[in-house]
Structure 1
Amino acid sequence: MDRNLFLAILAMDSYNRGYGVGIKDLDVNLNVTKIGNATIRTDSVTEIGASAESTGFYALAYDMTGVEGFSAGDTVIAYRGTDANFAASDRNGGLQ
């Protein structure tokens, strides 16, 4: 599989794990769950805690060992941001 296509799949995966998912029942079992040969090593809930959810942030770190085009031990971090409108409450006069 093309490297860029696989990276895009991992990015999509970050939108479907954790909280507020688009596809239900995709569990995160650290060091067990795989996408192809990429293994989920950790996520933002484990590393940061639930506070990341309040900002709309979620990330997954994948061990890429065994994935074509990557070296053993390489890590890819895939994350989703937020679609919340924080500008409306910007105390410094940001976009309204």
Structure 2
Amino acid sequence: MGQWAYKVVYVDYRGRISCEGEETLIGNERRSAFVRRYFNSVGRDSWELVSVQPLTSNSAYYVFKRPAQDGDYEEPAAPAVSEETPAPPTPPASSGPTVESV
């Protein structure tokens, strides 16, 4: 059985598409043409729509898949994380009540 690669695309029909950290904003065109144009570009890269998960009346997640290719499983490098735990900030002196976080 072959392996699959997946692409999840968020579509906000008010004019935004977000996929893998990249956003595409609507230009001067109809919303349906905007989404169709984007999905056509995804299809040219061999992605096939396999699922739609509606979120609201104006947005949804679209899941695409294709047979896995070289580079499909590469994850972007995570930002470096400091090993040291920073000290909590010292609250400023004030004459008001003390607020404690739970």
Q: Same fold (TM over 0.5)?
A: no
Question: Larger % of helix: which?
Answer: 1
In our comparison, the structure showing a higher alpha carbon Rg is 2
Question: Larger % of strand: which?
Answer: 2
Q: Given the two structures, how large is their TM-score scaled by the length of structure 2?
A: 0.30
Q: Given the two structures, how large is their TM-score scaled by the length of structure 1?
A: 0.31
